Amino acid sequence: MREVWVITACLALVDATSIQYNDEDVAPETEKEFYRVQGDLYSLCRIKLLRLAYLIGYGTEIERSPVNSASLSMLPWPKPAVWPSVPDDATSEVVVKEKMILQETPRVKHFGIQRKPLPLEPTILVREANRRRSSLSVGNSSEIFYGRVEFNDGLAADVPAKMPQADKAHEFMMSRTYSSPGNFDCSIGRPMRLAEIFVAAERALKKTISNPDLQKILSSVENFEQKYMELTKGAADNYHHSWWKRYGVVLDGEIAAVCFKRGNFDLAAKSYEKVCALYAGEGWEDLLAEVLPSLAECQKSLNDEAGYLLSCVRLLSLDKGLFLSKERQAFQSEVVSLAHNEMTNHVPLDVSSLITFSGNPGPPMALCDGDTGTLSVTVWSGFPDDITLDSLTLTFMATYNADEGGKLRNSNATVLKPGRNTITFPLPPQKPGSYVLGVLTGHIGQLTFRSHSFSKGGPADSDDFMSYEKPTRPILKVFKPRPLADLSASISSALLINETQWIGIIAQPINYSLKGAVLHIDTGPGLMIEESHSIEMESNKKAGHGSVGTANSGDATKDSSVAAKDCSPAADKHFEQLCLVSGKIEFPDWASDVSSILWIPIRAIDDKLARGSSSGAPEKQSIVDRMRTIALKLEFGISKNQIYDTTIALHFSDPFHVSTRVANQCNDSTLLLQVVTLHSQVNATLSVYDAWLDLHDGFTHAGQGNGRPISAFFPLVISPSSRAGLLFCLCLEKRTAEDENNVPPENILNIRYEIAGDRTIGAHPPVTMKSNENAEDTSKNLVFRSALVLQQPVLSPCLAVGFLPLPSDSIRVGQLVTMKWRVERLKDIEEKRVPQNNDKMLYEINANSDKWMIAGRKRGHVSLDMKQGSRIVISILCMPLVAGYIHPPHLGLPGIDEVSITCSPAGCHLVRVLPPAPSSSFCVPA
């Protein structure tokens, strides 16, 4: 009676308030509150109707959802003093109820999910109905429940589906036998069975209910279901307009269950999607596991491939304990089967909840600009079984912008095992920067899946593929372009011209591997490689602390400085002979991470004959004189994609510079003593074994000379950067006036010598002589030729340079002082023998920059007349920088030979410079 009264009162109150309510004159808050109350009334009325429906046996038609189960289980069950008894004329009705109970078969869910049904009815229904008969022996349970077994927890489970047909028939016959009161011999009424409870409750309700509409609702299952839908929709609609919108979504799920049972899959799917979104957002996975299979079945019936695949993936993503292993395998088989067989178009799918990936723990992979590599990625699979991916693509993004940095593709089939997997991707060259993982995409048949990554760097042994706590970290760092290798010449001093010399090229890796490197050599004009000789390569002993690296995969760097510094016999030293093939040299493996030297035999060709000078000192040569260039290109790196280009300049020179001057003249002016001075121009020891002079017209050897110098000290040894002299006796031949106007002819000086040097510091014996031949074999000596111009001697100076006294002896530091030199011509010079305007004379002031500051012009031209006695004074302003006795600046005349100049004073002299005058600013009071 209480349930009937609540239903009637709620329906009357809903109708009365709905008629009088006007939503135009109320505030929004009041409107929402009104709809909330209306929703509560509908919901309460709906729950009471479910209670009455179950009391009369309509429980099998009620959807076993978590909402219905929770609503009914939380309400107290009626406890009358005496449960209504079964009328005597209700035998046929009891039989009908028994058949209804026996024929009830639970609907098998999609994917073959077997779940224990949620309790809709209160579990104490049978006990409450028979509590006054508790003293009786109720016999075996089959007599009371005939086909239903009550578990220890009070829940009723269906048995007929698991029992043999013979047992079903036996139970059914037994139920009919004991359904009549006349068959039970006992003074006290026997315990009521469930079918009898339903009949007794229905008879009592018919006597209690006076509302004809309510009687019509409970008269048939169809009418009950229609009213059930009406009340559920009313509650859901009102909740959607109130504060409690989530309640409305939950009740939409109950409406969807009825639509699903009726076959209206379109409406059911729309409602199920909203319910699943709510449960997933709140993290209620237990409830989601109840509803999601129904949504998947709706989507499959509607041929919604994308939605059905997404539901399968979401089922796989739920907690493993919610489903059996074979059920989760069924989810996966549906995904694979549909992807390979049934799908007509590519379907994109987000599987980020099922497949995640990250870079491996540890420091990020380091590459240099332009390098390729192999990136190892850890992929976690949430599938219960192995799954084969037809293709796999990984994207990663640069940290400085949102653009995708690149894509790594693995076109081969990849098998993902449940849990942790390690997959390697070929890494093409990337731009400099720092990169993090982006998105993993791939194909399974016609299915295109996409997974987002969190770039986590968890423990190496962790299989937690759903860990979101790890922060994003770089997995790849590409360094900006930097020097990875260096090629340089091993020496800077001069090499021998026109002779085959070893030139050393130092190849040094800079924190990078030169494994498999190839060196291209291109010689410039005037330079050739002697291909008849092999190229030598050895480890560089002089490589100090220039550490070099291993391959560019982020491995630890190897330091080769220890081996480089160790010059003991036990130290590892490498040496190998290589061949030049098409202008290329391939590096051996041992030279990949150590500094090495390539020794290449090269010959610099110069067809010009060396020319001597008539001054006492060697003439200054241009810096580019006899320079040769060699172009080098080093290809290295994993894919030979790193290129280092450079051009090396090599300096070649003659072994000697020859200068001549007249040492003496006889009284008859016919005998000349000509001194030849040899200046060493190489960093090696030169041994002169013979020298002779080939004279041209105008000169002849004195006496019976054969052109050999007057010296018995052969071999003559000349140290590096030193000089030696040879003395020749010459006579002047008579020359005509016509010959005097001509340019003096060239005379050839021939020198046979040997060189003793080291190729690591400069000039050295040519490659052909670097052997164990006897050094005394004159045929192996080298020959040097130089052209000399022998002129009439100048035995007396033509210019006098004098340093004029200083204006004061009190020269102090920091004070300007004027230095003066006087230049006087001692001889007349005929204008016809000199070019026009030859009165211009070049001067140059040389001073120690640490001791003097020149405030005037240090170099220039002055005019000095050709007549004897002509004078000029050259002055310059300078400032002493240090105190003491120091050398003053020196005046030089670069265009005139030293033998033609006499200086006063003749030797080096000093001037006294006083300290700066005291200043009051430096005084400190006592």
Q: Domain with 438 in it: what CATH number?
A: 2.60.40.10
Whether 106 and 198 share a structural domain: yes
Which residue(s) pair with 680 in the sheet? Answer: 656
Chain center to CA of 510: 18
Residue 435 within a domain: yes
Asked if 766 and 500 touch (Cβ cutoff 8 Å), the reply is yes
CATH number for 618: 2.60.40.740
Q: Are 787 and 610 in contact, with CB atoms under 8 Å apart?
A: yes
Beta bridge partners of 387: 416
- Tell me, yes or no, whether 77 and 225 share the same domain: yes
Banded model confidence at residue 345, pLDDT cuts 50, 70, 90: confident
When comparing pLDDT for 180 and 239, which is higher?
A: 239
Are 23 and 87 members of one domain? yes
Model pLDDT for residues 219-234, shown as the tens digit of each residue: 888 899 899 999 999 9
CB 521 within 8 A of CB 580: yes
Placement of tokens 């090269």 in the chain:
602
User: 322 and 437 share a domain?
Assistant: no
430 found inside a domain: yes
Question: CA triplet 742, 744, 745: central angle to 5 degrees?
Answer: 115
Do residue 350 and residue 384 come from a single domain? yes
What is the rounded average pLDDT of the residues 846-860?
A: 91
* Same domain assignment for residues 258 and 268: no
Report if residue 369 sits inside a domain: yes
Query: 262, 286, 302: which is the final residue of a domain?
Result: 262
List the domain range (segments joined by +) for residue 864: 799-902
State the Cα–Cα distance between residues 219 and 215, nearest whole angstrom.
Answer: 6
Rounded Cα distance, 198 and 210, in Å: 20
Residue owning tokens 């000596």: 781
DSSP 608-619: SPEE-BSSSSPP
Task: Tell me: do 600 and 643 sit in the same domain.
Answer: yes
Q: Which residues contact 149 (CB under 8 A, 6 or more apart)?
A: 141, 156, 157, 159
227 shares its domain with 357: no
Q: What mean pLDDT comes out for the span 589-618? A: 85
For residue 88, the tally of other CB atoms under 10 A from its CB is: 9
Residues 282 and 217 reside in one and the same domain: no
Separation of alpha carbons 229 and 42, rounded Å: 11
- pTM of the entire predicted model: 0.58
Alpha carbon distance, N-terminus to C-terminus of the chain: 121
Number of domains in the chain: 6
What pLDDT, on a 0 to 100 scale, did the predictor assign at position 572? 62
Helix (H), strand (E), coil (C) string for 221-270: HHHHHHHHHHHHHHHHHHHHCCCCHHHHHHHHHHHHHHHHHHCCHHHHHH
Answer yes or no: do 493 and 594 share one domain: yes
DSSP state of 41: H
Nearest CA to 327 out of 339, 316, 338 is that of: 316
What is the pLDDT confidence band of residue 166, given thresholds at 50, 70 and 90?
very low
Asked if 285 contacts 317 with a C-beta cutoff of 8 angstroms, the reply is no
Same domain, yes or no: 113 and 246: yes
Structure-token pair, residue 696: 């041209």
Pair type for strands 433-444 and 447-452: antiparallel
pLDDT top residue among 482 and 623 = 482
Q: Does any domain span residue 447?
A: yes
In this structure, is residue 182 part of a structural domain? no
Is 406's pLDDT higher than 90? no
In a domain, 311, yes or no: yes
Statement: residue 856 has pLDDT above 80: yes
Question: Using one digit for the tens of pLDDT, what is the confidence trace for 495-540?
Answer: 999 999 999 999 999 988 899 999 999 998 889 998 888 899 999 8
**What residue type is 906 in one-letter code?**
A
The answer to the question of residue 774 being in a domain is no
Are residues 518 and 437 part of one domain? no
Helix (H, G, I), strand (E, B) or coil at 596: strand
Asked whether residue 127 is domain-assigned, the answer is yes
| Amino acid occupying residue 846 | N
What average pLDDT score do residues 98-121 get?
Answer: 70
Greatest alpha-carbon pair distance for the chain in Å reads: 181
What's the CA gap between 786 and 691, in Å, rounded?
11
900 Cβ neighbours under 8 A, 6+ residues apart: 794, 797, 798, 799
Answer positive or negative: Cα dihedral of 265, 267, 268, 270: positive
Tokens of 554: 């982020």
Local structure of residue 724 (DSSP, 8 states): E
Count CB atoms within 10 A of the CB of residue 861: 10
Give the pLDDT confidence score for residue 255 in this predicted structure.
Answer: 92
Domain ends where: 326, 343, 360? 343
In sequence order, what are the residues at sequence separation of 6 or more whose Cβ sits closer than 8 angstroms to the Cβ of residue 308?
296, 299, 300, 334, 338
- Interacting residues of 36 by C-beta distance below 8 A, sequence separation 6+: 238, 239, 242, 243, 244
Axis-axis angle for helices 265-282, 305-317 (nearest 10):
30
Q: What pLDDT, in 10s, does the model give residues 21-75? A: 877 777 888 889 999 999 999 999 999 898 888 888 887 778 888 888 888 777 6
What DSSP character marks residue 920? G
Mean pLDDT throughout 400-419? Answer: 78
Burial of 188 (0-12, 13-18, 19+ CB in 10 A): exposed
Q: Is 107 helix (H, G, I), strand (E, B) or coil?
A: coil
**Average of per-residue pLDDT across 379-392:** 90
Reading the block at residue 556, the tokens are 């630890």
Q: What is the mean pLDDT of residues 183-195?
A: 60
